[in-house]
Amino acid sequence: MSSNRINTKTRILDVTWRLLESGNTAIRMADIAKEAGVSRQAIYLHFPNRAELLVATTRHIDTVKNIDQRLARSRSASTGIERLQAFVEAWGGYIPEIHGISVALRAMRNTDKEAAAAWEDRMQAVRQGCEAAVRAISEDGYLKKELTEVTAVDLLWTLLSVENWERLVLECSWSQSEYEQTLKQISEATLLLRK
């Protein structure tokens, strides 16, 4: 792939990101093309449809913000408890940085199936992180006996929702540090069997 093609693709993704964070809930391919200085046809050469563009934009944000580096400590943890703590820290600390895009996609999802698909794609990625943490806890023998792994994942995924972060940090004025520490404690209390 030529450097020019990569630059055009990146420019399209950056423009889409900026337009979404602006709060405009009616972003069309034509709007993106105009802002990126390319034709609509050029956008479709890179992204066959709007859904793929929105999903690619959310993944582009993860790349720019180096989500893999943020998750490295969780992924390399030697125990399930360490993995859980590191995952809660990584995701909880990432929410403020992607909050603008999350607001935009959630505002659009009831009337825009492409935005709904992009948001669902990202939330399934978070769920996979929850699954990995719960599996590690279970393999260590520390998952509460009354919880199945699926139920534990459901609980952790819900605890770590963007909506809960909004309620605690934005509405209740918790500090980011207070949020992360408390969510680690609540997650452990919810999931872990104390031996």
- Confidence band, pLDDT 50/70/90 cuts, at residue 112: confident
Cα 72 to Cα 83: distance, rounded to the nearest angstrom: 10
- pLDDT surpassing 60 at residue 117: yes
At residue 157's C-alpha, the angle toward residues 160 and 62, to 5°, is 70
Q: What residues contact residue 112 under an 8 Å CB cut-off, 6+ apart?
A: 25
Instruction: Report pTM.
Output: 0.85
Let me know the angle formed at the C-alpha of 161 by 16 and 13, rounded to the nearest 5 degrees.
10
Residues 125-162 pLDDT 10s: 999 999 999 999 999 999 999 999 999 999 999 999 99
Whole-number pLDDT of residue 6? 60
**Residue 113 near residue 166 (C-beta atoms within 8 A):** no
108's enclosing H/E stretch is helix 80-108
Spatial separation of the C-alpha atoms in residues 105 and 112, rounded to whole Å: 9
Query: Could you tell me what percent of the chain has a pLDDT over 90?
Result: 67
pLDDT band at 3 (very low <50, low <70, confident <90, very high): low
- Per-residue model confidence as pLDDT tens digits over 81-99: 999 999 999 999 999 988 8
Identify which of 161, 188, 176, 190 has the alpha carbon closest to the alpha carbon of residue 102: 161
pLDDT over 60 at 49, yes or no: yes
Instruction: Please say if the pLDDT value at position 177 is more than 80.
Output: yes
What values do phi and psi take at 169, rounded to 5?
Answer: -85, -50
- 110 φ/ψ angles, rounded to the nearest 5 degrees: -70, -25
Per-residue pLDDT for 4 more than 80?
no
pLDDT at 100: 85
